[in-house]
Amino acid sequence: MRSIFYLQRNDRNAIIVILMIIAIICSLIIFIGGEDDGSSYGAADSTLTKHPERVDKEHPLYYKVDEEIHEVFAFDPNTADSTDLLRLGLQEWQVRNIYRYRAKGGIYRRPEDFARLYGLTKKQYETLRPYIIIGEDYRPAADYYGQQKDYAYSRQAREEGKTEKGQATGEKGEEKIYSYPQKLKAGEHVSLNSADTTELKKIPGIGSAYSRAIVRYRERLGGYVNANQLLEIEGFPEEALSFMQVEKDKITKLKINKLTMSQLRRHPYLNFYQARDICDYRRLHGPIKSLQQLSLLKTFPPAQIERLEPYVSYE
């Protein structure tokens, strides 16, 4: 048995050499990797400092807070949605405070106003400060027309490819101009079943992500019968519901007696089993004249029937 585990001297020396080589390689990987991380973060910091307006949310950079890495990109605190604010490293309760502030008519007119956000640390604010871009609709008129004429190009200057100072600018030299929609005031509304994404983004708290989600869900449903249906969209801000109005005459209904099982199950309120039971019921009992006929089926509890009723046609 002892001879099985016995290694000759040459074999032992070879194993020791191999272990030493592995240890050296591991040390080099750790050392070089640490240097690369530092240099990449340094390069990122340099880019952010010099050209923060060029960093958008499609190509964000990163910063570290309490050992957590967060994204950083240009944003307007008056229009950014919860998804973007969370990506920037804000806590959920901070995002809710921003939404409440905007729902009450509050406006961030200068980047410095964002520093008043409760719980925002000095380090976070100093990191985010260069990327706070206040839209033209929210800036004080005195700033835009008086003291800071260089804030944006005039339309004529942009067409000519020149700045207001008269300096020619090429494609690389032209700065990015941010334009944000004017937000609705308290008491104003948009039609939930006909508004496009541009109109929806006028609602306080609604940005590009939520406006697209509203339209997509509307198309899948066939229209909204109640603004509270928007809460079925993950993370949707409840404060935005007060700016919605619903036109129920624009609902596209399901022809429950004519659609196939695959067509029925495309509706968000019908799953595979419910669509199958509808088709089986039609086959066995003939056309459905009321959803109450399905109430004896386990797949159609009262709450499900009530939710589906506005979308059903018995033609």
Percent of the chain whose pLDDT exceeds 70: 71
d(CA 199, CA 181): 8
Residue located via tokens 């459905």: 288
Predicted pLDDT of residue 57 = 55
d(CA 20, CA 14): 10
Helix/strand/coil for 62: strand
Residue 146 sits at φ, ψ, to 5 deg, of -115, -80
Residue 90, H or E segment:
none
What residues have CB less than 8 Å from 53, skipping those under 6 apart?
74, 131, 133, 175, 176, 178
Predicted pLDDT of residue 42 = 47
Residue 234 pLDDT exceeds 90: no
Selection from 127, 109, 152, 138 nearest residue 60 by Cα: 127
Helix/strand/coil for 233: coil
* Number of C-beta neighbours around residue 213 at 10 A: 20
Selection from 148, 110, 102 nearest residue 129 by Cα: 110
Confidence of residue 256 (pLDDT cuts 50, 70, 90): very high
d(CA 45, CA 54): 13
- Quote the tokens at residue 267: 């509706």
d(CA 233, CA 194): 18
Predicted pLDDT of residue 11 = 73
Predicted pLDDT of residue 56 = 54
Helix/strand/coil for 245: strand
Residue 275 pLDDT exceeds 90: yes
102: left (phi over 0), alpha (psi -120 to 50) or beta: alpha
What residues have CB less than 8 Å from 89, skipping those under 6 apart?
63, 65, 68, 70, 71, 124
119: left (phi over 0), alpha (psi -120 to 50) or beta: left
Cβ atoms of residues 63 and 127 within 8 Å: yes
> Which residues in 141-156 are b (16+ Cβ under 10 Å) and which e?
eeeeeeeeeeebbeee
* Number of C-beta neighbours around residue 197 at 10 A: 15
Residue 294 pLDDT exceeds 80: yes
Predicted pLDDT of residue 65 = 55
Range of weakest confidence among 58-72, 139-153, 227-241, 271-285 = 139-153
Specify the pairing of strand 190-191 against strand 244-245. parallel
First to last CA, the chain: 87
Cβ atoms of residues 269 and 278 within 8 Å: no
Residue 38 pLDDT exceeds 90: no
Q: What is the mean pLDDT of residues 219-237?
A: 91
pLDDT, mean over the chain: 77
Predicted pLDDT of residue 187 = 85
Domain ranges of the chain: 82-139, 190-245, 254-313
Predicted pLDDT of residue 182 = 77
What is the tens place of the pLDDT at every residue in 54-90?
555 555 566 555 556 668 788 888 888 888 888 888 8
What residues have CB less than 8 Å from 104, skipping those under 6 apart?
186
Predicted pLDDT of residue 90 = 87
d(CA 142, CA 149): 10
Residue 257 pLDDT exceeds 90: yes
Predicted pLDDT of residue 147 = 44
What is the tens place of the pLDDT at every residue in 147-200?
444 444 444 444 444 444 444 444 444 455 555 567 888 888 999 999 999 999
Q: Is the pTM of this model over 0.95?
A: no
